[in-house]
Amino acid sequence: MRGMNGVGESLRESAVFNFDGAMTMVIDDSPFSLELTAQALLGFGMKVRHACASAAEAIAILQNHPVDLILVDCEMPGMSGYEFVRWLRRSGLEPNAYAPVIMTAAHVRRSKVSDARDCGANFLITKPFSAGVLLERIVWVARDTRPFLEVGDYFGPDRRFRNEPWHGLERRAEERRRAAFEDERKAAIEL
């Protein structure tokens, strides 16, 4: 449900967010998009500490400087945003490998949404985006409590958003062990 100001209910739940000290990085090969994003963030009181025109430039900075939030364009020459996020998540640079990542894209097809999810990004928004949508996503990732998982070649936030019980055959070993333990515990209690 949207309020009169067009910003979603999720923002009303937060009394105050102080972004003043946030170490923010924006990566976009388009100077216009980079400046527009920086201005939107400044409107929330969030200064862009690192504005990068390429993933290579961002990597050099991330080697020595911690960041709290990264906004990265999906399609860039050289290393794409998807490749950058995969590198970031596997880099071993703490705390940067765990920094929230919001990807931006001008043309979003279902495959791009899947690519963003599968590379380890927290969220994908489409350009042009409104300042309200950007703020909603920043607040969302600030509140995101999903754990980071390493499964096969994926490393990033748990891709599952729903907390609904799964009624199919369980495939995760940890959950199978937990269920077997619970079954044994119940059997022991019934004796």
- By three-state DSSP, how is residue 98 classified? helix
For the chain, what is the domain count? Answer: 1
**pLDDT over threshold 60, residue 165:** yes
Question: Cα separation of 111 and 100, whole Å?
Answer: 21
Q: What is the pLDDT of residue 140?
A: 87
The answer on pLDDT for 109 being more than 90 is: no
Q: What confidence tier does 13 reach under pLDDT thresholds 50, 70, 90?
A: low
- Does 143 reside within a domain? yes
Give the rounded percent of residues in the chain with a pLDDT score beyond 90: 44
At 53-62, the pLDDT tens digits run: 999 999 999 9
116-143: pLDDT as tens digits = 888 889 989 998 899 989 999 998 888 8
Residue 182 predicted with pLDDT over 80: yes
Average pLDDT over residues 84-109: 91
pLDDT band at 81 (very low <50, low <70, confident <90, very high): very high
Buried residues in 142-175 as b, exposed as e (16+ CB within 10 A): eeeeeeeeeeeeebbbeeeeeeeeeeeeeeeeee
In sequence order, the β-bridge partners of residue 8 are: 2
Is the residue at 110 inside a domain?
A: yes
Residue 108 lies in a domain: yes
Residue 81: which CATH number?
Answer: 3.40.50.2300
Domain for residue 7, yes or no?
no
- Residue 168 within any structural domain of the chain: no
Strands 148-151 and 154-157, sheet pairing:
antiparallel
The arrangement of strands across the sheet holding 101-105 comes to 48-52, 24-27, 69-73, 101-105, 123-126
| pLDDT band at residue 175 under the 50/70/90 scheme | confident
Q: Is the pLDDT of residue 161 over 70?
A: no
- Nearest alpha carbon to residue 123 among 139, 56, 107: 139
Backbone φ and ψ of 116, nearest 5°: -65, -45
Q: For strands 69-73 and 101-105, give the pairing.
A: parallel
What is the value of pTM for the model shown? Answer: 0.74
Instruction: Give residue 91's domain range.
Output: 24-157
165: which DSSP letter? P
What's the pLDDT score for residue 9? 46
Q: Cα separation of 96 and 66, whole Å?
A: 6
Q: Does any domain span residue 54?
A: yes
59: nearest Cα among 29, 21, 97: 97
Residue 3 belongs to some domain of the structure: no
